[in-house]
Amino acid sequence: MNDYNEISRCNRCGFCQSVCPTYLATRDETQVARGRIFLTRMLLEGRYDFTKDEDVLEKVNDCLLCQACVVNCPATVRTDDIMLAARRDFMEARGLSLFQKLVYRGVLSHRERLDRTSFLMRLYEKSGARNILYGKTLRRALDRLVYFDSFLPSGLNKPARTRLNEKMPAVNQPKMKVVYFLGCASNVFTSETVWSAVAFLNKLDVEVLIPKVSCCGEPHHTGGDEGEARRLAKKNVPLIFGVEADFIVTDCSTCASALRHYDKILGDCAEAAIAKPKLSKVIDLATLVTEHLKPSSIDLKPLDIKTVTYHDPCHGIRGLGVKAAPREILKSIPGLELKEMEGADSCCGGAGSYCFTHPTMSGLISTGKVNNIAATKAEAVVTSCPACSLQLGAGLRRAGLDTQVAHPVALLAKSAGLKV
Amino acid sequence: MTSTHSHLSPEGISELSKIVGQAYCRTGRLDLELYSYDSSPFIHFPEVLVLPGTVEEVAAITALCHRRHWPLTARGAGTSLSGGAVSYLGGVAMSLTRLDRILEIDPIEETVLVEAGVVNLALQNVLARQGFMFPPDPASQKASTIGGNIAENAGGIKGVKYGITKHHVLGLELILDDGSTVKTGALAQGLDAVGPDLTGIFMASEGTLAMVVRALLKITPLPNSFRTVSAVFDDLERSGKAVSAIIAAGIIPTALEIMDHRLIVALEDYLHLGFPTDAEAMLLIELDGLGPELDGQYERILTLCREAGAVSLAQAATPEERDKIWLARRSGNGAMGRIKQGCIVQDVTVPVVKLPSMLSLVQKVAKKYDVIIVQMAHAGDGNLHPHLLYDLKNEEEYKRCLKASAEIFREALAAGGAITGEHGIGLEKVEFMNDQFNEAELDFMGAVKRAMDPDGIFNPGKLLPERWQTWSTKSDSSHSSDGLETL
Ligand code: SF4
Ligand code: SF4
């Protein structure tokens, strides 16, 4: 880590306390950007040791990397980058954690294994094992298990890819050609969103290519596993940047933000040279629809729900600067009212796999988010990220609420009468 | 009458743990590390950290510290600029941030009852929904707590028109050194309180007399219209002259803020508002009240600024633009990190007529000691905020800053001013107390301290010079890296 200058720019004004989700959930200085920065400074000054100090690593890993502190910091201290650099150094000094080995390198790095995981999850639900878990007696004893179970949506579909071809049904005289980056979580957890999005794009005469990509590498990157992130990125570059297309689009804000910043992960290599000139073509689904497709020609019908609220994924609002597009889409649907929740742009606590590695903190943050959603009395919470969808769904389920969770473009497709 | 502190034993710590619960009583090295600082350059390690969740827990902790003779330093957000929140003698650090409930808003009597850990801005947001504000708005309001605002008697941008914290506190609920609870002012006797104003002595007492756990605050209806003007000057002193002229004309704006060239550049770099980065000084002026009455004052202010030599004048067109201007001003302190990492922030005050000459005097001091001093000021009440910047790794530069700082204190006193307007004495200015007050005045303060805290458990080392403190020896418990920020 050679970020000493970045770190020492923090003069401890404390303003990050007003936005840092882990601080707001705990009111504890060991859970705020200012404290995290102070600790990394002590690391650099040699007070602590990358190879030994478990407690420091723990604090570094407690950060959601949500960037709320960064955009609110008067000195624009890049706490997220500093935490990443520290994780990288810890990783180099100590190797991968068990979770990283099993989940990131073990599953996310391999597309087929991920599909198999989906099968197991559906089996678990259909076999009735889940109902046993929710039985009253076991429930208390198995609190943690129930927590983890709450993430599994009911009626989970087959992976999106099983119903998609690499090149979707030929569109007569396509107006536009896009590469659809099918991310891991979208593929496994929100197939309907992907199917609706592709159908909607086809209806607007957009030719959609769906190459067999690997994981975007963001989970590895945020865990400090730089080598693996780079390997995956290099594999993806020819598939998405090496083909002629107007845009590279994805329904997942995290993938979109990772791809848009691929130059950071790739460093200096042949693939970087291919990717760099085309990074600006990476776009999130909602922005593609509002800014480049203008679907005014489509006849939209009212939905069965009347009110929605929108949750901004961190990678959408701060990673890509997307704020208006999804809201515009929601407002364009006849009879639908958008009710803004308090703190719409604060992290839901999902933060990739944070909800699994940090159940307690993630649960605390989730409760705050769910309360804000509930206060709007909206029938659905809409968001543009499958990981947020999972986290919001789980939080709502634990609170016993039946608020739906949806992607803005999936609602739009539904309103356009498309069935998936 | 003095007393000696004792160290914390494992049994003592387990007693504390019984009061607040294990999760909220901590001795882990990282917990102590992260509660060793505030926003000042001072770093002192506590021996144990407690985070009570109720007033009753605060009382029990205080009684225990009293029985055992442990130093007890309360803190809120830890944004003190003078070292008020650090545990100078080790002992117990008590964070009140979990006491963050807004208990009752009374729109008829225009009061709100809050716990000490409520964040100033969070309170403003809740009040705004009912059409009210709590006027004290220190630049740190995003983070700082009401308890901290009372301990430092915080002012803020609106101070010129609305006054500072002490003008808006109607009564307090206090935990005394033996753990007993007492109420003052309107909290004791209702709004028509009789007898001496005991609430007053806790304003700016920096946690050295008792623990403030709840406060009854006066709230004010939100004004319904604003005019926000920015005037650009090619000379800092001239902007000060405009301020004196406005005050002399009998106009009382809500805010009158001066920012110098370096600050304008740093804030523009942060927020991209279109501030003129070649300007030597900018004066931000805000008027509030009823529309028609504002127009006349607004015109008059424009004329006065022009007469004082303003090179250009602009009005904030939208509420968003206005919000951004004030966000910029409040971010001044944090934005200093863009220039240099080390920072001593002063808040000397002088009579408003002396403001122009004091501003240029600070510029001369900067030249004399060859240090960077960035200037901002709550100009309307003569409260200067010189930020003396240094490189964290340059000890020699830091020493020059200290010398420059001492000279500014002396000049402010010579001009009939004070060494602090709102940041408190803390550790930073203790040595200047003898210049600010005479012997008899300090004796009187010492007598109050002896009456309230004879064993010196409350925030020892702060505010009063050692002679008037109520402990006799500094315990040797302090951590090896105590002292100033690494140099
Ligand atoms: S807001 Fe920025 S400068 Fe201020 S304490 Fe937080 S990280 Fe440091
Ligand atoms: S990135 Fe998010 S969680 Fe991490 S310190 Fe900043 S605000 Fe807090």
User: CATH code at B167?
Assistant: 3.30.465.10
Residue B445 belongs to some domain of the structure:
no
ipTM: 0.91
Size of interface A-B (CB pairs under 8 A): 94
A394 neighbors A320 (Cβ within 8 angstroms)? no
| Gap between the Cα atoms of B277 and B262, Å rounded | 8
Residues B68 and B171 in one domain: no
Name the residue of A7, A12, A17, A22 whose CB sits within 8 Å of the most ligand 2 atoms, as the mutation to test its pocket.
A22
Question: In this model, does residue A122 exceed pLDDT 80?
Answer: no
Residue B196 belongs to some domain of the structure:
yes
Residue B484 belongs to some domain of the structure:
no
Per the prediction, chain A carries an average pLDDT of 86
pLDDT digits (tens, 9 = 90+) for A316-350: 999 999 999 999 999 999 999 999 999 999 999 98
pLDDT score recorded for residue B477: 44
Which residues of A are less than 8 Å from B142 in CB distance? Answer: 14-15, 17-18
Question: In this model, does residue A296 exceed pLDDT 80?
Answer: no
Paired sense of beta strands A380-383 and A307-311, if any? parallel
Cα of B453 to ligand 1 centre, how many Å? 35
Residue B361 belongs to some domain of the structure:
yes
Domain spanning A4-94: which superfamily? Alpha-helical ferredoxin (1.10.1060.10)
Single residue among B350, B379, B414 that ends a domain in this structure: B414
Domain count, chain B: 3
| Gap between the Cα atoms of B443 and B383, Å rounded | 27
Single residue among B162, B194, B221 that ends a domain in this structure: B221
Residues B261 and B382 in one domain: yes
Residue A73 CA: which ligand is closest?
1
Query: Phi-psi bin for A144: left (phi > 0), alpha (psi -120 to 50), beta?
Result: alpha
- Identify any residues that bridge with A284 across adjacent strands, giving them in sequence order: A250
**Which of the four pLDDT bands, split at 50, 70 and 90, describes residue A121?**
low
* Domain boundaries defined on chain A: 4-94, 307-415
Write out residues with Cβ below 6 Å of ligand 1: A 10-16, 33-34, 37, 69, 73, 75, 77, 79; B 334, 337
Q: With the CA atoms of B226, B230, B236 and B239 taken in that order, what torsion angle do they form, in degrees rounded to the nearest 10?
A: -50
Residues B398 and B300 in one domain: yes
pLDDT score recorded for residue A306: 95
pTM of structure: 0.89
Residues of chain A numbered 67-126 and touching chain B (CB < 8 Å): 73-77
Tens-level pLDDT at each residue, chain B (487 residues):
456 677 788 999 999 999 999 999 999 999 999 999 999 999 999 999 999 999 999 999 999 999 999 999 999 999 999 999 999 999 999 999 999 999 999 999 999 999 999 999 999 999 999 999 999 999 899 999 999 999 999 988 888 889 999 999 999 999 999 999 999 999 998 877 678 889 999 999 999 999 999 999 999 999 988 899 999 999 999 999 999 999 999 998 999 999 999 999 999 999 888 899 999 999 999 999 877 778 888 999 999 999 999 999 999 888 888 988 899 988 988 889 899 888 999 999 999 999 999 999 999 999 999 999 999 999 988 999 999 999 988 999 999 999 999 999 999 999 999 999 889 999 999 989 998 999 999 999 999 999 999 999 999 999 999 999 998 654 444 444 456 664 4
pLDDT digits (tens, 9 = 90+) for A165-210: 755 666 778 889 999 999 988 888 888 999 899 989 988 889 999 9
Residues B242 and B149 in one domain: no
Residues B246 and B329 in one domain: yes
Residues B335 and B386 in one domain: yes
What CATH number is attached to the domain comprising B349? 3.40.462.10
Residues B7 and B138 in one domain: no
**Which of the four pLDDT bands, split at 50, 70 and 90, describes residue A138?**
low
Residues B117 and B20 in one domain: no
Residues B31 and B170 in one domain: no
Query: Phi-psi bin for A282: left (phi > 0), alpha (psi -120 to 50), beta?
Result: beta
| Gap between the Cα atoms of A400 and A403, Å rounded | 9
pLDDT score recorded for residue A61: 92
Question: In this model, does residue A114 exceed pLDDT 80?
Answer: no
Residues B278 and B309 in one domain: yes
Residues B68 and B106 in one domain: no
Paired sense of beta strands B169-175 and B211-218, if any? antiparallel
**Which of the four pLDDT bands, split at 50, 70 and 90, describes residue A111?**
low
Q: Which domain holds residue B166?
A: 102-221
Q: Which residue of B30, B42, B75 is the best one to mutate when testing the A interface, meaning the one whose CB has the most A CBs within 10 A? A: B30
pLDDT score recorded for residue B487: 43
Q: Name the residue among B30, B33, B79 with its Cβ closest to that of A14.
A: B79
Shortest distance between the Cα of B22 and any Cα of chain A, in A, equals 15
Give the domain A307-415 fold: Rossmann fold (3.40.50)
| Average pLDDT, integer, range A88-109 | 72
Cα of B456 to ligand 1 centre, how many Å? 33
**Least confident residue range of A42-51, A358-367, B81-90:** A42-51
Instruction: Report residue A239 as tokens.
Output: 């598939």
Residues B162 and B301 in one domain: no
Single residue among B69, B98, B127 that ends a domain in this structure: B98
Residue B476 belongs to some domain of the structure:
no
Interface of B with A (CB under 8 A): 28-31, 33-35, 37-39, 51, 77-79, 95, 97-98, 100, 117, 119, 121, 140, 142-144, 270, 331-338, 341-343, 392, 481, 486
Residue B485 belongs to some domain of the structure:
no
Residue B89 belongs to some domain of the structure:
yes
Name the residue of A5, A9, A13 whose CB sits within 8 Å of the most ligand 1 atoms, as the mutation to test its pocket.
A13
pLDDT score recorded for residue B484: 61
Residue B462 belongs to some domain of the structure:
no
Q: Of A4, A91, A72, A89, which Cα lies nearest the Cα of A33?
A: A72
